[in-house]
Chain A
Amino acid sequence: MSTHCNSQLTHEHLRNLEQLAQLKLDENEHEQCFKSLQQILKMFELLDSVDTTSIDHLSIQPQCSIESLRPDTSSTQDHTPTLQQCCPHFNETTQHILVPQVIDSTSDEG
């Protein structure tokens, strides 16, 4: 598939992207984003000339067979000790991290 057809950006497509990205751009922002996105997508047209079907020549082989991969199940390990160690404000009872007060009352916003 070529990037060229995708680089034909439309305003409707950009609005769909804004929705997907959960961003609410005003009209001016939308217009600025549209112009810059067109330039960026044009840059991607370079990829069309690259042949990646020859990737097999790199001879990258898997290290083990599919059958010997472990099942995709979550670990039963309790992570509380690690959290207690790395987060001094981790509350074991609530399993939440408490936000401490600022420790430097004179810290200056530069």
Chain B
Amino acid sequence: MHQLTLSEMSKMLKSKTCSSTELTHYFLERIEKYDKKINSFVTVCPESALNAAKHADQLLSTHQSHHPLLGIPIAHKDLFSTEGIRTSSCSKMLAEYIAPYDATCVERLKTAGMIMLGKTNMDEFAMGSSNETSYFGPCYNPWNLDHVAGGSSGGSAAAVAAGLVPATTGTDTGGSIRLPAAYCGITGIKPSYGRISRWGMTAFASSLDQAGPMARTAHDCALLLETMSGHDPKDATSLNAPVPQYSEHLNDPINNLRIGLPQEFFTKDLDPNIQDVLNQVIEQFKHMGMNVQTISLPNANLSIPIYYILAPAEASSNLARFDGIRYGYQCDHPENIEDLYMRTRDEAFGDEVKRRIIVGTHVLASGSYNAYYQKAQKIRALIKHDFDRAFDQVDLIFAPTSPTTAFKVGEKLNDPVSMYLSDIYTTAANLASLPALTAPAGFSNGLPVGFQLIAPHLQEQLLLQVTHQLQCITDAHQHHPTLSNFEE
């Protein structure tokens, strides 16, 4: 059952081949059996999940709801507020924080009838590319436990890849949906900035953060995206734009679409084995009738330094709220208010979070502001302009998701710049607020390889259409890791 897509599960539920309660039991048992080795879940909610499944079964039996996601399990990245359930952002700072409300996208999926199984592992406060900085321990790649799941939505990616849950939510500030999705061999989409409400999402970098779905296929992501998306008056940055029925238009014609390959992304820095796998996808696109051409994004090589100026700057402001007063961790026996602030934050934040706060503080300090933050904002506009010019020539941009497959656990922990370079192909889409998707392309040395597509603003439909039609004629997305050695 864990190999079924969301639509296949929905058909089984509606035809009463199985019930939501049976489906929920099935996945809860898989989590119990396999997740000790993977560590993709940090909180599991069996009682509330089974109560919700029972309610879903009542709705299914009386045909009171026809939503395609009714009765299907899901798990949420642990920075989405979930009412009455711990929401920790995988930090000691919030390890005992119980959210008093649901995030908007959680509420929308709950209203659709999805069954929340629990909360997934992530890099602390979404700061990381490997899911090794979590307070609850690293998340491991189900394809090879010696390798990372990717980050920061590593738990969400690993849980879907291992068949512990059919769909999850993630967030993407500089690649945190796309990178773990590529490393774990699943499909994930970061929509246009503002497409999904950020109300109830613990903020990392407010001008870059965006929620998105992660699942096995583009069709599944389409079902989730159309449910999660839409204007929210509680989020001033959410777009007041209509939400298309993405799942209804997946088979619309795509021949004669123009696909651009940025020359700056296909260089010697890209692993040749990954290049070979991606070349096969490019050939498939040509076979499907699309036109492939080379383009240029001249300022793309500046994405990493720009991102690591702007994101930490915003993070240093967003994380100022964690002061040991209103919520979260508080140090013992503070001598005075200053000692309370400083020791609370030092004891409860991990090394990477502290590093980024310090970088952010530096680039915003007077004397540094013009050289760093202001300049980075200007270059951000140049990067956006590069994409605008590129989309005059092409309809979609094709790129690698990552320069390598999933690296080994511990390999980059002591070298932050090397870790940051994992995001070399993903940060540009966040800086330009554009939608981007990753999907499985194949394998290299037993580990998944992902490809990335970037679309113009609010053209998520194109990403999903092309990927869905590719997945109809290929099988890279249909492979599953062997979990036989994972039981304890």
Contacts and interface: CB of A to CB of B under 8 A. Distances in A.
Interface of A: 1-3, 6, 14, 17-18, 20-26, 29, 32-33, 36-37, 39-41, 43-44, 46-47, 50, 52, 55, 58, 60, 82, 86-89, 97-110
B361 A50 contact: no
Given A36-B416, A106-B46, 9 more contacts: A1-B371, A25-B346, A41-B362, A82-B233, A86-B101, A102-B84, A107-B45, A108-B43, A108-B45
9 contacts: A1-B371, A21-B358, A23-B357, A24-B339, A25-B346, A33-B358, A43-B305, A47-B371, A52-B379
A63 B302 CA distance: 29
Nearest to B377: A52
A3 B372 contact: yes
Interface string B374-412: 011011011001000000000000000000000000000
B308 to A, nearest CB: 7
Contact of B101 (A39, A87, A104): A87
Contact of A24 (B343, B381, B417): B343
B81 to A, nearest CB: 10
A3 B355 CA distance: 19
A58 B48 contact: no
Q: Is the interface of B mostly helix, strand, loop or mixed?
A: helix
- Cβ-closest 7 pairs across A and B: A103-B84, A24-B342, A52-B378, A110-B41, A106-B47, A104-B48, A1-B371
Contacts of B358: 14, 17-18, 21, 23, 33, 37
Nearest to B301: A46
A40 to B, nearest CB: 6
Given A50-B379, A103-B84, A1 B100 contact: no
B239 interface: no
A67 to B, nearest CB: 24
Nearest to B338: A22
Interface of B: 35, 39, 41-48, 83-86, 98, 100-101, 118, 121, 136, 199, 233-234, 299, 301-302, 304-306, 308-309, 316, 320, 323, 339, 341-343, 345-346, 349, 351, 354-355, 357-362, 365, 367-368, 370-372, 375-376, 378-379, 381-382, 385, 415-417, 420
Contacts of B306: 47
Given A32-B351, A99-B100, A107-B43, A20 B302 contact: no
A6 B361 contact: no
B417 A104 contact: no
Given A22-B342, A110-B39, A44 B85 contact: no
A58 to B, nearest CB: 5
Contact of A102 (B98, B367, B371): B98
B243 to A, nearest CB: 20
Contacts of B361: 17, 20-21
A63 to B, nearest CB: 16
Nearest to A3: B371
A100 B100 contact: yes
Nearest to B418: A39
Given A47-B302, A107-B85, A89 B100 contact: yes
